[in-house]
Structure 1
Amino acid sequence: MNFDRDILHILIEAGPKGLSIKKISRHVFNLNNDFFNVVEFDDVYRYVSSYLARNSKLPDSIIEKTGSRGVYRINFSLKSSRQLQFVFDDEEIVGTPEKINNEDLSLSLF
């Protein structure tokens, strides 16, 4: 089971306040538990807590501890973590709509 991508996605959604280990574990559990793939919450909690502890020790890590005990967030002071904030959505064009030509331009079959 690889929950790394889910953990990062949840921490990005959490923003600068971060989330506790239990809430992150609950989100990962809900994302990965379904009818055909049953996952135990205790296993997810152990994996999330060890992953966060392991990846937050270095000062240049993408995950950092906050001032509160057991709360983690994305380290947005790094260049690599700022790239995670990009959102590529289709933009709507604002302005006057062009006149729509209702002329049928399809070819005739006969």
Structure 2
Amino acid sequence: MNYEQQILHILSEVGERGISVSSLAKHVYNMSCTLFSQPDLQEVHQFVQQYLLRNSKSAQSLIESTGRRGYYRLNTQNNADARQLMLEFAEEMPEAEEPENEKPSQDFSLSLFDF
């Protein structure tokens, strides 16, 4: 996953409340760290900041400011692509399915202490 996809994925998870640029940069950095490579946190922060500024300029942009300084969210009100992203990422997350009428399974294990 590249940085742009990670940014959009995180923004779709935080929803309407938005997330600060520094928190978003830390999340992207943590998602990008592996055992063999670690990106520079400053470079990731700079990329995230530039990406958010580039994609939040107009009212129909994919990303919008929340009104609080430095907080951003997906623009689901004026952008159909942002609404579609919310649906796509929501479908990827598996929900825990609980069987309704499943009986508890019997324990067929042997006891070590029965004679």
Q: TM-score range by the shorter chain?
A: 0.7 to 0.9
Q: Which residue in 2 is equivalent to 1:11?
A: 11
Q: 1:44 to 1:90 in 2, by over 3 A?
A: closer
Q: CA deviation at 1:2?
A: 3.5
The Cα offsets for residues 40-85 of structure 1, whole Å up to 9 and x where unpaired, read as: 1001000000110111002211100111101000001122211122
Q: CA deviation at 1:90?
A: 7.1
Equivalent positions of 1:6-45 (< 5 A) are 6-45=6-45
Equivalent positions of 1:1-110 (< 5 A) are 2-77=2-77, 78-86=79-87, 87-88=90-91, 89=94
Pick the structure with greater CA Rg: 1
Number of aligned residue pairs: 97
Q: CA–CA distance in 1 between the matches of 2:18 and 2:24? A: 9
Q: 1:90 to 1:28 in 2, by over 3 A?
A: closer
TM-score by length of 2: 0.74
TM-score by length of 1: 0.77
Aligned-residue RMSD, C-alpha: 2.2
Structure 2 runs not aligned, ≥5 long? 103-115
Percent identical residues: 38
Q: 1:45 to 1:93 in 2, by over 3 A?
A: closer
